Amino acid sequence: EESPRLYTREEVRSHSSPETGIWVTLGSEVFDVTEFVDLHPGGPSKLMLAAGGPLEPFWALYAVHNQSHVREILAQYKIGELSPDDKAASILKTSDPYADDPIRHPALKVNSQRPFNAEPPPELLTENYITPNPIFFTRNHLPVPNLDPDTYRLHVVGPPGGQSLCLSLDDLYQFPKHEITVTLQCAGNRRSEMTRFKEVRGLEWSAGAISTARWAGARLCDVLAQAGHQLSETEAHVCFEGLDSDPTGTAYGASIPLARAMDPEAEVLLAYEMNGQPLPRDHGFPVRVVVPGVVGARHVKWLGKVSVEPEESYSHWQRRDYKGFSPSVDWDTVDFDSAPSIQELPVQSAITQPKDGETIESGEVTVKGYAWSGGGRAVVRVDVSLDGGLTWQVAELDGEEQRARKAWAWRLWQLQAPVPAGKKELNIVCKAVDDSYNVQPDTVAPIWNLRGVLSNAWHRVHVHVAP
C-alpha cells in the first residue's frame, strides 16, 4: 500500500479559489472538494467559507454534518494528509501584548487583528435568530485580559454613608438571575458605506457589527440597591471600568445615565452567561455589562469597577469617541464636548442575501436580512425594493415577537419575489420602520460624519440576473 501524499497547511491554504481548486481538511486528512462545491446541499457560498482550512469550526455550527453519509461524500475527495511536522510550527512572541488573545473562529471576517475586531460573514449572520457565540462580532480596543474566575472581584463603589461591595462570581450568582435576548450593535456598523462616500477615520465594518444573544446575569439595579444607591439628582451617571488596559494602565471605560441603570424595566445586566455558556473571553469573561437598546460601546466587558458619579465617564471612549456630528464638521473643527455621547441607537436594517455583486437566477429571488432599533423600539415593518427605491414590497418578519418598549432584539426578515421579466440587474434596497415611525435616511450624504458612526442609510445591494 502506498503511503499517503503529505501537504503542509500552507499548501492547503493556497487552494481556496476556483482557479487553484478548493481544498479543506478534517482532522489530519486533506480533501480536494472543487467538484463538490456546486453540489453542496447547504450552498456553495457556505462551503467556500471553509476553503483552504479546517472544516471542524464550521461543522461545529451545523450538526447536520455529524452523519455517516456526509463523511462518505467527503471521503471520495480525499487527496492525502497533513504533514506531521506542520503541527510544530507556531512560535510564541512573548513581547506581543496580544500573544495571549484567544483563538478565533475562522469564519469571522477580520477587520483588525491587534486589537481583534471581526464580524460574521453575511452568509452566516442571519442564519440563526440567536448568533452562535463563536461567530458573534467582536470589537476590542485592547488585548483580551486573561482573568481567573476564582480570584475575580467586581468593585461596586457605594454612596457616601453606604457600603462599597467587593463581589466574587459566587456573590453575583446570589442575586436573582435575569435572562433576556439582546442585540448588540457597534456604532461603527456599516461604516464602510460611509467611507465609500467620503473618507472617515475608523475600522472598516461591513453590515456585520451586530449580533444577538441570550444574556443572563444579575440586574444592575439589584446590585446598585444592595450597595445603597438610590435615584439621586446630583449623581447622574453610572461609570463602568474594564480590566483591559493599554500600556499606560488606562482601562476601557464608559457610562450610562443613572436613571436607566436604576430602572428595572430597562433590564441592564451584569451578565455572566451568553447563550447558556460562561461568557467567551472575547465577549468579556467573566462579567460584562449588557445595556439593552444602547450602543455596544457602553456594554463594558471584563468589568472591574462600577461607580455612581455626577459626571459621565472621563474615558476617551465616552468623551472623545462614539459621538455624532454634522457632515460639515472635520478634524480641524470638531469639538467633542459639543455633542452628546451616543446611547440609544437609531433604526437600522441591512440585506444579508443576496450579496452585492452576486449573479442570481431569473425566476424568483429571496432577499433576507435583519432589522433593529435602539431604546427598545420595536420594528414594525421592513420595506424592500428591487428597483432602487421606485416601488416597494413589504417583507415578512421572522424571529421572536418583540415586546412593546422592550424590543431589545432584532427581527430577521425575508421577501420572496418574482424577478421582473427582462431585467439584467436589480438594485435591491431595504429600509425599516420602528414603532415611533422613525425611518432610515435614503442616502449616506446627509448623515456622513468624520468618525463614520450611526451609518443607517437604506442598505443597497446590486446583483446581476443570469440570462
Residues that bind ligand HEM (CB under 6 A): 24, 33, 36, 40-42, 46-47, 49-50, 55, 58, 62, 64-65, 67, 70, 73-74
Q: Is the dihedral of CA 336, 341, 346, 351 positive or negative?
A: positive
Q: How far apart are CA 207 and CA 424, in angstroms?
A: 26
Closest distance to ligand MTE from the beta carbon of 261 (Å): 16
Q: Which three cell numbers stand for residue 129?
A: 435568530
Q: Which does 73 bind (CB under 5 to 8 A by kind): ligand MTE, ligand HEM, none?
A: ligand HEM
Query: Is 221 a residue that touches ligand MTE (CB under 6 A)?
Result: no
Our answer to whether residue 298 is catalytic in this structure is: no
Q: Which of residues 378-417 bind ligand MTE (CB under 6 A)?
A: none
Size of the site for ligand MTE (CB under 6 A): 20
Q: How far apart are CA 457 and CA 175, in angstroms?
A: 41
User: Helices marked H in 60-165 — which ranges?
Assistant: 68-75, 122-125
Query: Is 267 a residue that touches ligand MTE (CB under 6 A)?
Result: no
Selection from 220, 223, 188 nearest residue 204 by Cα:
188
Nearest to ligand MTE of 242, 354 (CB atom): 242
Q: Which three cell numbers stand for residue 287?
A: 462579567
Query: Which one from 260, 322, 370, 430 is the annotated catalytic residue?
Result: 322
Query: Is 316 a residue that touches ligand MTE (CB under 6 A)?
Result: no
Closest distance to ligand HEM from the beta carbon of 78 (Å): 11
23 Cβ contact list (under 8 Å, min separation 6): 7, 12, 15, 16, 30, 31, 32, 33, 51, 52, 79
Our answer to whether residue 65 is catalytic in this structure is: yes
User: In this chain, which stretch among 134-142, 219-227, 399-407, 411-419 interacts with ligand MTE, using CB under 6 A?
Assistant: 134-142
Q: How far apart are CA 317 and CA 61, in angstroms?
A: 34
Going residue by residue from 227 to 266, which x/- string records binding to ligand MTE, judged by CB under 6 A? ---------------x-x-------x--------------
Total residues found in the chain within this entry: 467
Query: Is 319 a residue that touches ligand MTE (CB under 6 A)?
Result: no
Selected from 15, 46, 139, 451, the binder of ligand MTE by CB under 6 A is: 139
Closest distance to ligand MTE from the beta carbon of 451 (Å): 12
Going residue by residue from 344 to 383, which x/- string records binding to ligand MTE, judged by CB under 6 A? ----------------------------------------
Our answer to whether residue 190 is catalytic in this structure is: no
Q: Which does 244 bind (CB under 5 to 8 A by kind): ligand MTE, ligand HEM, none?
A: ligand MTE
Query: Which one from 186, 221, 239, 430 is the annotated catalytic residue?
Result: 186
Q: Which three cell numbers stand for residue 109?
A: 471576517
Selection from 178, 261, 258 nearest residue 218 by Cα:
178
DSSP string, 366-394: EEEEEEE-STTPPEEEEEEESBTTSS-EE
Nearest to ligand MTE of 142, 367 (CB atom): 142
Selection from 211, 203, 155 nearest residue 183 by Cα:
211
Q: Which does 41 bind (CB under 5 to 8 A by kind): ligand MTE, ligand HEM, none?
A: ligand HEM
Burial of 407 per CB tally in 10 Å (0-12, 13-18, 19+):
buried
Q: Is the dihedral of CA 255, 187, 194, 457 positive or negative?
A: negative
Query: Which one from 9, 13, 40, 141 is the annotated catalytic residue?
Result: 40
Q: How far apart are CA 34 and CA 79, in angstroms?
A: 12
Under 8 Å between Cβ of 354 and 461: yes
Closest distance to ligand HEM from the beta carbon of 393 (Å): 24
Bridge-partner residues for 216, per DSSP?
179, 273
Largest CA distance in the chain: 82
User: In this chain, which stretch among 136-144, 219-227, 259-267, 382-390 interacts with ligand MTE, using CB under 6 A?
Assistant: 136-144
Cell 452576486, residue located: 358
Closest distance to ligand MTE from the beta carbon of 284 (Å): 6
Closest distance to ligand MTE from the beta carbon of 188 (Å): 8
Closest distance to ligand HEM from the beta carbon of 182 (Å): 25
Q: Which does 141 bind (CB under 5 to 8 A by kind): ligand MTE, ligand HEM, none?
A: ligand MTE
Q: Which of residues 151-190 bind ligand MTE (CB under 6 A)?
A: 184, 186
Our answer to whether residue 152 is catalytic in this structure is: no
Residue 318 host element (H or E): helix 316-319
Bridge-partner residues for 22, per DSSP?
16
Query: Which one from 9, 13, 62, 65 is the annotated catalytic residue?
Result: 65
Q: Tally DSSP H helices, then E strands, for the chain.
A: 10, 27
Side-chain half-sphere CA neighbours of 396 within 13 A:
7
Our answer to whether residue 239 is catalytic in this structure is: no
Under 8 Å between Cβ of 82 and 13: no
Helix (H, G, I), strand (E, B) or coil at 344: strand
Going residue by residue from 7 to 46, which x/- string records binding to ligand MTE, judged by CB under 6 A? ----------------------------------------
Nearest to ligand HEM of 7, 272 (CB atom): 7
Q: How far apart are CA 363 and CA 207, in angstroms?
A: 27
Closest distance to ligand HEM from the beta carbon of 412 (Å): 15
Write out the residues near ligand MTE by the rule CB under 6 A.
136-142, 184, 186, 242, 244, 252, 282-283, 296-297, 299-302
The residues assigned a catalytic role are 40, 65, 139, 186, 322
